[in-house]
Structure 1
Amino acid sequence: MLANHKGEVPFLLLLLPLLTGIALGLNFSTSFFLLRAITPLLLFCLVFIIINICYRQLSVYKFNWIGGVLINLILFLTGWLSVIIHHDLNRQNHFSKQSAKQLLVRINNEPTLKNGLVRFTAVVEHTVFDKDIHQTTGSLLVAIKDTLATTLSYGDKLLIPATYTTVDTPLNPAEFNYKQYLANQNIYQQAFLFPSQYKITGRGTGNPIIAYSLQFRQRLVNKLKRNMHDTTAIAVASTLILGYKANLSQEVLQAYSKTGTIHILSVSGGHVAIIYLLLNLIFSFLQRYRRGRMVKALLIILLIWAYVLLTGLSPAACRAAFMISFVIIGTTYSRYINILNILAVSACFMVLYNPFLLVDVGFQLSYLAVAGMVVLQPIVYNLINVNNKWGDKFWVACSVSIAAQVITFPLSALYFHQFPIYFLISNLFILIPAEVILCTGALYLAIPQIPYISSSLAWVLESSILLMDKVLTAIEHAPFASVSKIWLNTVEYVLLSFLIICVFYFLFSKKKRVLGVGLVATLVLSLSVSIKRVKEIQKDSITFLSLRKNQGIIFKQGNKAIVLTNLSPSDKNYQYSIQPYLDSSKVTDTSVYAFNSNIKSAFLLKYRNLIQFKNQKLLIVDKAMPDNPSGTKLNVGYIYLTGNSHVSLKKLGACVIYSKLFIDGSNSASYISDITQQAKALQINYYILKGNKSLTLASN
């Protein structure tokens, strides 16, 4: 639904400067900028008030542009200021700025158990230093290695030691920036606790509505388990219907992700839209009455929010309900309303409430997908004229899927580095099963336990999920199911987005100038991608990885790489810290070896602990001093110290000549401290990989 005039989408125009100000604030959010934002904001507000009061006297009507400029500046500075105000580290009473021995925290989300650790975020309400107790603010990520911690729930208060640490930055190339991910949620510190390090001081002190929502959802999850048997089906049902993702396996997530249907596992716009359509159909009879239209809108909004309550008030579900509530209100009280304007209204409210939502991937994708369906779907639909009634309905569904997938492709490629080829087939397939699952699941959960009826509904629910999973798995493993290893930089992302806009605008307007601009964007994008790829293929390097308690070296020649590590490719640490670098470096041929392997390849030779890579030599020193039968000094470029070898650097220097010493993460902290003291005394150039960024050395 394109706007014929800018007057149809005033909030969309007002949203742009607000988002620009928030984007600036996300990069300049310290308290240093507070006065620099608030002073001009107050000044512009004052000028705006004056010119409106003295509109005629000052003949402002001769300069209509002044008002528009002032409004844009005010909104821009409001966005910037909102980020500064919401930034927890700017507050003087943030817990990290207080001296403390203990922290009194309150759990503010649902704890999850994964890999033996109970994880949750907590609000730090007080710091304790001897007998002094101070009220504080700020959030903390907590992980507890204790089976008894599984009894913890939202709203519980804990007394924990003030032994938190800042979240590490990414230490290896292309590694996921977990620190930035948490910072976008206003979390900057984390704490790891053991059984005796925490004490429960209170239960159920959180928001009663959220607490009730989470408890009720858990009861519904247990009800699903009562009559369903397959653990995968239970996990998918819990996720798809209730937004409960704790039991969802990585394999299931991968299948949905590679087929472009991952959105179905997030209770968001699609789910709320289906609920809305069903409720709209159920209450359609109310339109016959005088006040029926208003009553219908009120009932639908209340029931949609009741459904959101069942999902545990998840941010994605709340966002979707908030958005569709505005749509319902707008369509109820207006003869004509532009959906883009309603989307802009809801987005304005949400980013003003929490400006950090702007960098939330779910927020970006959901609004972008809805905007794509509103703006681009009619353009795609008009490309083909289908006369058959059912064929037309089928083409409508296709056009919706194409519009949503295409408009979100650049963002998905930027974050997830892949594109599902068969997205249209998989999305069309899941339409009916998803509706069956939602309707059957809602009915099953709504009625009490009734013999035969409940078990029959559970059977239909389980069978639908298993069928859907079976088909999606087949699509996932089909030839050329997805294009992976797509790594875009910011410029390429902007160019790709601009190119898609040009294509659709050309289809809408048929202006050849737009097509020309799009071709220029395509050329620049192609050049950027090609140059980057050629550089990576021509690049030969050694990368010493920074792995916690593990070993890792990557020898790369063009698109081939040999990885020396004690991790298997299926290990989560390998997938998290090593694989992203290989993918981003355009490596298509990877060989993984253990450190004790002998290797003979076209570009690398390894015999025992000695490695020859092109013109570089590397010696691995692990449990003992290297053999030196000839008595002459071995000349190598680098030494890789691993496994707490406890060698003396002085003795090592007597038999080996080297330029730099690398100390990996498998060494203990005490040994690293000892070896660095030796290196300093002997003036040896060294680099500690543990806790520091990896180091890449070019070999050509």
Structure 2
Amino acid sequence: MIRWAPYAFVRLTLALAAGILTYLYIGDALPDLRGALLALAGLFLGAQIWATQSKSLGLTNLAGLLALLTIYSAGITLAQQSTESRRADHLYHFGSRIEFYRGVVDDYTVVRPNTYATTVRVSAVRVNGHWQPATGGIRVSIPRQEGQAEVTAPQYGDVWLVRGAPAPSKPPLNPGEFDYRRYLAFHQVYHQQFIHPDQYRKLATQPPSHLRAISMRTARVLDDVFRQYVHEKREYALASALVLGIKDDVDQDTKQAYANTGTTHIMAVSGLQVGLLFGAVMWVLSKIPGRRGPFFRFLTAALGLAVIWTYAFVTGLSASVLRAAVMFSFIIVARVTGRQSTMYNTLAVAAFCLLCYDPYLLADVGFQLSFLAVLSIVYVQPRIVAWLDVKGYFLDQQRPWQPRFVQKLWKWTSWSMDNIWQATALSLAAQVATFPLGLFYFHQFPLSFLASNLVAVPISSGAVYVGLVLLSLKGLVAAIGLFAPALTTLLDYGPRFVAWVFELMIWLFNEYIFLIGRAMPGALISGIHVTAPQAWLIFGVILALLTFFAARRLVWLGLACALMGVFAGNKVWAAHDLKTDERLIIYSIPRRSVCGFWQGASADIVAVDSLPLSETERTYRIVPGIIAREAQRVQYHTGWRETVVPAVRCAPDSGLVLTAWRGVTVAFVSQKLSPAHQPRSVSVVVLRRNARVKAADLATVFGKDARIVFDSSCRSWYVQRLTPELQQLGMQTYDVTASGFFTVQPRT
């Protein structure tokens, strides 16, 4: 039986989260609940006053139930009111009628190989020649190079006047692909637009938050320090990511190596770095003599808060650092005021406040991983540590007759091995609660996480300290240089030496990560598909097992086994449904012609344009669908050669290829149809590479019942020109670039 009395805020936070989850899943079907919330709040106050006066246990329980119901309704209402698309002046209501809009750059600028990407918050739009207030976020991309001149990167606070109407964010264009539209919606961004340099003009600089603007500039100045002193490009990129959270220059191979070994969190400035700073402050203060009394407690709290929030400021006030800073701030305040009854309540208060500020944080992967990892560490790590008394074992090896050196060696060994065991327990504990999320979001599980973290985390933690020392020392040298410029060159040897140590440490832990990847190539279990209900089932199994070990009651073990049975049954049922599923898919891959022939868990992917798919195209366009179907055999083909699908080219130089698969006939047309082409009955006609064909010829050769599909190699102007002509003839058309993949199932 769970005793909720010591965990008052835990149940309130769970009720709030349940309300937010309800809105995320079925929010569109719910009416405005502000009136219902006020009514529930009034009922709760009345029941609470009545229960207090009558001192009735039944009324007290009723008041508690009403409190939870009120908080649950508050969660739904908060999520409703935080959803910008519900507002009457949102961009959604203007559609394509927008001629111009005015907005401000309200996010970091992501530097990509060919584009800059950022978010613009709209303040006004011009419709039919009249300006009117508007709200909404637009994810914009602009080319980095226009002609020979480099386009200036957008800066936070830039006010733009933009010509043209933004388009609603696109849904996933291929099976299983990452739902970027949903991700943007959780950040209150519902539109996207590619803007050419001649489409926008910078009007002014008016940052939405001057504090954040100064913070972001500070982060860039500190990044220039690393750029100056860390000479190797790879080490500089990791240094900036590790200490400042700027990952613009981290190459894809490095990102993949860290993902494969379960150490991606090292490159994300969040709870690890904030915790290291807090631990350093506590260690320094512990060396001060006479550290007792309320004054010292408040001094410790003040210094801890100052260090944490200063670090959050110099790293650009990013969302991950702010989340960690809020969490540690509540822990510090709870300790100094003596209000920390349990760590669970303290974490619940932090989560409750963050969710009240932004309910959509509940859908943020970083938020979920951070709080689940900390909760798991708080509960599970002490229990894992208790399995082995490592320190006591080595101390028991001491004997009175042993030399003093040997006794000190045993003592040092006990200390070091105990720290290693503590770190091992921490890493294992963090994986317990985050395991289902890793499968659900990343579709993989690195078995090498323990070997990677035991070495990489201590080295990278030391590198964080050394990197901060480098920044502090450089700041000191710069300050002295203002008054004594002649000393700058001499004093600069200090930052150079620290930078050399810093770069060496980064090189060491980076080489270790790559070494683990090479030494344990089979340690990464990838291609795991877990649906949201299946992830909830795994969470249920973990909670039931933890409760069983704590309560020692077989009913909880039985529940865990039952949930595992449901999970296995769900997987078997999904595999049974998939076994008989057959379909032809025309993929949506920019400027490519690619189709897939799927039979159950096997597939043949054909690059019709005879150019092999790049690794990026496979990873982001094809592989998600493979994972979703848990495919066992997938073969890639360049052109029609060596495919199991029969394909006939009507003539050596003809732009017409006919295929027949499982009763589905498809014609791929890439050139003008000649009079020699005889009428043929096909299910689908795929137009490629802006084929110079006439609508009437298509209707004559293939019939008006054939579905016309424009694949991704066709340009938008071509689709817009030919579509009306085809529709006038009564033919159905489909554009995979605009609407996503096209699929055909064989007739049974």
What band does the TM-score fall into relative to the shorter chain? over 0.9
Q: Distance in 1 between matches of 2:666 and 2:128?
A: 53
User: Does the 8 Å CA contact 2:340/2:346 hold for their aligned counterparts?
Assistant: no
Amino acid at match of 1:569: L
The aligned residue for residue 338 of structure 1 is 342
Compute the displacement of 1:327 (Å): 0.8
Q: Deviations over 1:643-667 (max 9, x none)?
A: 2222235434545567433222322
Per-residue CA deviation, residues 90-132 of structure 1 (Å, 9 max, x unaligned), is 2233344456532221111222321321211122123345875
Give deviations 1:262-299, integer Å, cap 9, x for gaps: 11111111111111111100112276243111111111
Q: Identify which of 99, 102, 125 aligns with 1:101.
A: 99
TM-score by length of 2: 0.87
The one of 702, 719, 722 equivalent to 1:672 is: 719
Q: What does residue 515 of structure 2 align with? A: 474
Match of 1:317 among 314, 321, 342: 321
SS of corresponding position for 2:345: helix
Aligned to 1:524: 566
- For residues 134 and 564 of structure 2, what CA distance do their matches in structure 1 show? 52
> Aligned to 1:168, what secondary structure does the other structure show?
coil
1 CA distance for matches of 2:262 and 2:61? 45
2:419 to 386, 393, 404: 393
SS of the residue 2:152 aligns to: helix
Moved over 6 A (4+): 56-59
In the alignment, is residue 547 of structure 1 matched against residue 547 of structure 2? no
Query: Which residue number in structure 2 is paired with residue 403 of structure 1?
Result: 429
State the distance in 1 between where 2:228 and 2:568 align: 55
509, 526, 535: which one pairs with 1:484? 526
How well do the aligned residues superpose, as a CA RMSD in angstroms?
A: 2.6
Match of 2:464, SS state, is: helix
- Supply the distance in 1 between the matched residues of 2:349 and 2:542 (Cα, whole angstroms): 25
Counterpart Cα distance in 2 of 1:124 and 1:287: 56
Query: Which consecutive residues of structure 1, in runs of 5 or more, have no partner in the other structure?
Result: none
Inter-CA distance 286–607: structure 2 relative to 1 (3 Å threshold): farther
Q: 2:87 aligns with which of 86, 91, 99?
A: 91
Partner of 2:742: 695
Q: 2:534 is aligned with what amino acid? A: E
Q: Given the superposition, is the C-alpha separation of residues 101 and 645 from structure 1 closer, same or farther in structure 2, using an over 3 Å criterion?
A: closer
Listed as ranges, the matches of 1:77-156 within 5 Å are 77-97=73-93, 100-128=98-126, 132-147=130-145, 149-156=151-158
Q: 362-371 or 500-509, which moves further after superposition?
A: 500-509
How far residue 562 of structure 1 moved from its aligned partner, in angstroms, is 1.8
The one-letter amino acid paired with 1:524 is V
- Matching residue within 625, 647, 652 for 2:693: 647
Normalising by structure 1, we get a TM-score of 0.93
Identity %: 26
Query: Which residue identity lines up with residue 739 of structure 2 in the other structure?
Result: N
Deviation for aligned residue 1:493: 0.9
* Match of residue 582 from structure 1: 626
**Residue equivalent to 1:22:** 20
Conserved 8 A contact 2:456-2:512: no
**Which residue, out of 189, 200, 224, partners 2:191?**
189
Shift of 1:248: 1.7
**Which residue is 1:663 aligned to?**
710
Give the Cα–Cα distance (whole angstroms) in 1 for the partners of residues 695 and 420 of structure 2. Answer: 73
CA shift for structure 1 position 27: 3.8
**CA shift digits 1:5-41 (9 cap, x unpaired):** 422211001111111111122345469722xx12221
User: Which of 14, 30, 33 is residue 31 of structure 2 equivalent to?
Assistant: 33
Deviations 1:411-445 (A, max 9, x none): 11111111111111111111221122101101001
Is the partner of 2:521 in helix, strand or coil? coil
- Are 1:64 and 2:60 an aligned pair? yes
Distance in 2, Cα, partners of 1:75 & 1:154: 36
Q: Which residue of 2 aligns with 1:604?
A: 645
What is the aligned partner in structure 1 of residue 497 from structure 2? 456
Query: What corresponds to 2:482 in structure 1?
Result: none
- Per-residue CA deviation, residues 57-102 of structure 1 (Å, 9 max, x unaligned), is 7775543221011101110111111111111122233344456532
Counterpart position of 1:379:
383
Deviation at 1:335, TM superposition (A): 7.7
2:42 paired with 1:46 = yes
Q: Which moved more, 1:412-421 or 1:22-31?
A: 22-31
SS at match of 2:738: coil
1:288 corresponds to 2:291: yes
- Name whichever of 291-300 and 152-161 sits farther off: 152-161
Contact kept in structure 1, 2:688 and 2:713, CA below 8 Å: yes
CA positional deviation for 1:368? 0.8
Aligned residues: 691
Is the contact between residue 106 and residue 123 of structure 1 (CA under 8 Å) also seen in structure 2? Answer: yes
Instruction: Out of 535-544 and 655-664, give the one that drifted further.
Output: 655-664
Does the CA-based 8 Å contact 1:568-1:574 persist in structure 2? no
> What is the one-letter code of the residue matched to 1:188?
Y
The amino acid across from 1:680 in the alignment is Q
1:251 alignment counterpart: 253
Instruction: Tell me by how many angstroms 1:460 deviates.
Output: 1.4
Deviations 1:173-206 (A, max 9, x none): 1011111000000111122211122111112534
CA displacement, residues 361-403 of structure 1 (integer Å, 9 cap, x when unaligned): 1111111111111112223223334333333322211111011
Decide which moves more: 210-219 or 91-100.
91-100
The CA distance in 2 between the partners of 1:271 and 1:662, in whole Å, is 51
Residue pairs, 1:163-178, within 5 angstroms: 163-178=165-180
The residue that corresponds to 1:569 in the other structure is 613
Check whether the contact 1:287–1:296 (CA below 8 A) recurs between aligned residues. Answer: no
Map 1:359-374 → 2, pairs under 5 A = 359-374=363-378
Match of 1:621 among 669, 688, 700: 669
- Whether 1:416 aligns to 2:442 is yes
Q: Aligned pair in 2 of structure 1 residues 25, 287: CA closer, same or farther (>3 Å)?
A: farther
Q: Is this contact kept in 2: 1:286–1:293, CA < 8 A? A: no
Name stretches of at least 5 consecutive residues in structure 2 with no aligned partner: 395-413, 478-490, 650-656
CA distance in 2, matches of 1:645, 1:136: 42
Name the stretch that deviates more: 686-695 or 440-449: 686-695
User: Cα 1:571–1:626, aligned 2, differ >3 Å: closer, same or farther?
Assistant: farther
